[in-house]
């Protein structure tokens, strides 16, 4: 009797957690589904690492040399675009021609905490203390823009 109750709870949890997925027929249909959602996120590579980003996030990455405070940087390596219910994954990245654009504004160039590196050679009397601060760039992530026109253009090329 107890086993049947556990089994029914397990089945209802499985149905609750694993709802049917929508498989859109084209990239533009998938982008339209994501565009209809209230909140979105992206997975993008910046500074050699993947980051999960949402609009208005503040991101700290290793120093980007060729930008000044106030410059706008376009994120080109977007691996995944999603919302609470839908996800669009690139292979390996979502192409820029799909109409997905995310910009980041350079907020500041800063340095991290002081790091102390102690070097020593045994029995030689050699001791050296090196102090170092790692340079960082802080970015403010802008809105995730999904344009409808460019998404349909890529679908026409893929259907031909």
Question: What is this structure's pTM?
Answer: 0.71
Is 8 inside any structural domain? no
Q: Decide: 83 and 39 in contact? Cβ < 8 Å.
A: yes
Sign of the C-alpha dihedral computed for residues 55, 56, 62 and 68 taken in this order: positive
Closest of 63, 78, 47 to residue 145, by C-alpha: 78
In this model, does residue 71 exceed pLDDT 90? yes
Q: Is the bond leading into 151 cis (omega within 30 degrees of zero)?
A: no
pLDDT digits (tens, 9 = 90+) for 19-69: 445 566 778 888 888 998 899 999 999 988 999 999 999 999 999 999 999
pLDDT reported for residue 142: 96
pLDDT digits (tens, 9 = 90+) for 79-120: 999 999 899 999 899 998 888 999 999 999 999 999 999 999
Is 137 inside any structural domain? yes
pLDDT reported for residue 10: 54
Residue 137, domain extent:
22-159
Is 1 inside any structural domain? no
pLDDT reported for residue 30: 85
Is 10 inside any structural domain? no
Closest of 130, 140, 137, 150 to residue 104, by C-alpha: 140
Is 138 inside any structural domain? yes
Is 17 inside any structural domain? no
pLDDT reported for residue 126: 98
Is 152 inside any structural domain? yes
| Total count of domains within the chain | 1
Closest of 70, 68, 46, 41 to residue 59, by C-alpha: 46
CA count, 13 A, side-chain hemisphere, 98: 27
In this model, does residue 143 exceed pLDDT 90? yes
Mean pLDDT of 120-129: 97
Is 7 inside any structural domain? no
């Amino acid at each position: 009797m107890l086993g049947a109750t556990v089994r029914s709870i397990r089945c209802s949890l499985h149905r609750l957690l694993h709802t049917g997925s929508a498989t859109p027929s084209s990239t533009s249909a998938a982008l339209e589904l994501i565009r209809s959602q209230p909140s979105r996120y992206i997975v993008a590579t910046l500074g050699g690492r993947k980051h999960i980003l949402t609009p208005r996030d503040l991101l700290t990455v290793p120093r980007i040399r060729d930008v000044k405070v106030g410059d706008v940087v376009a994120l080109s390596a977007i691996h995944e675009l999603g919302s609470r219910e839908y996800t669009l994954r690139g292979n390996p990245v979502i192409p820029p021609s799909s109409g997905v654009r995310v910009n980041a504004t350079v907020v500041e160039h800063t340095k991290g905490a002081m790091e102390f590196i102690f070097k020593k050679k045994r029995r030689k009397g050699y001791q050296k203390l090196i102090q170092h601060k790692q340079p960082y760039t802080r970015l403010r992530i802008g809105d995730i823009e999904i344009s409808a026109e460019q998404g349909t253009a890529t679908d026409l090329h893929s259907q031909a």
